[in-house]
Amino acid sequence: MARTSNASSDATTPKKPKKQRWYHQVWAAYQMTRRQDPTVTWLILGIFVAVLLLGLVIGLLIGHPVYVTIVALPFALLAGMFTLTRRAERAAYTQIEGQPGAARAALGTVRGGWTFDDEPVAVNPRTQDFVFRGVGRPGVVLVSEGPAHRVTRLLEDERRRVARVVPNVPITLVQVGNEEGQVPLTKVARTVTRLRPKLTRPEAAEVSKRLKALSTNKLPIPKGVDPFRARPDRKGMRGR
């Protein structure tokens, strides 16, 4: 009976998911990128060969072609990986661009002590325009998603709400879009990361704590709209 019990327990015990190796992640990133950008294969190969040829030429000039070519090999691999990373990032953004919540998905790749609310802090139920809020050492950043003529007022209303709670704290407004004066989706994370620090870490934490009071009265999300269905392949975007 004991053997039967053990066999039954072994059968019901879920197996641990197999750990994915780094090269599996690279291959997945390459496949995702190739679907969006079929030229990526030739581009990576071209850069790889170009770096090797450069090493060969340098080697011929100094009289050690084989040695320098071997030394150039890891640099060629690194150049190919860098190219794949950049193309994978672009492909990931292409997949989510235009979907509700694409701006928040892009902000999810921001590092450096930034924290972003999971849900939009302002919503226009009729037009499905969103405003997302983040807090970091540069202060508060409000990121809108939608046409400029519609989100300008939405952003300004949210800026006034934030300013009442945390006066004297820098507030940066960023409009995500392809219109004049807006920041493309592919550059929004970089734009936020480049903001200069104005607060200390304890001050930023205190600001984040105060702003949580604004989130108690959450606006309803329009029916049928999921602002988080737009999720980029972050590992693919980093080439890992």
Task: Write out pLDDT tens, residues 29-46.
Answer: 778 778 877 888 899 899
Domain boundary among 96, 128, 154: 96
The answer on 129 and 82 residing in a single domain is no
Statement to judge: residues 88 and 144 lie in one domain: no
Give tens-digit pLDDT for 42-69: 998 999 999 999 999 998 998 888 888 8
User: 136 and 115 in contact (C-beta within 8 Å)?
Assistant: yes
Mean pLDDT of 178-196: 88
Residues 6+ apart with CB under 8 A from 235: 25, 28, 29
Instruction: Express each pLDDT in 136-173 by its tens digit.
Output: 999 999 999 888 888 899 999 999 999 998 888 999 99
Q: For the stretch 2-34, what's the b/e string if a residue is b when 16 or more beta carbons lie within 10 angstroms of its beta carbon? A: eeeeeeeeeeeeeeeeeeeeeeebbeebbebbb
What mean pLDDT value characterizes the chain? 80
Domain contains 170: yes
CA distance 204 to 214: 16
User: Please, is 227 exposed, middle or buried when counting C-beta atoms within 10 Å of its C-beta (0-12, 13-18, 19+)?
Assistant: buried
Please report the pLDDT score of residue 2 as a whole number: 47
Task: Identify whether residues 89 and 114 lie together within a single domain.
Answer: no
Domain hosting 131: range is 102-224
Residue 87 sits in the same domain as residue 138: no
In a domain, 4, yes or no: no
Positive or negative: CA dihedral 230, 231, 232, 238:
positive
φ, ψ (nearest 5 deg) of residue 118? -70, -30
CB 104 within 8 A of CB 129: no
The answer to whether position 41 is within a domain reads yes
**Binning pLDDT at 50, 70 and 90, where does residue 218 land?**
low
Contact 159, 169 (CB under 8 A): no
- Model pLDDT, residue 172: 92
Same-domain check for residues 106 and 219? yes
In a domain, residue 136? The reply is yes
Residue 12: per-residue pLDDT = 54
138 plus 91 within the same structural domain = no
> Helices 201-211 and 148-165 meet at what angle, rounded to 10?
110
In a domain, 132, yes or no: yes
> 192 and 116, same structural domain?
yes
Give domain status of residue 13, yes or no: no
Evaluate whether 240 touches 25 at the Cβ level (below 8 Å): yes
- Give the number of domains in the chain: 2
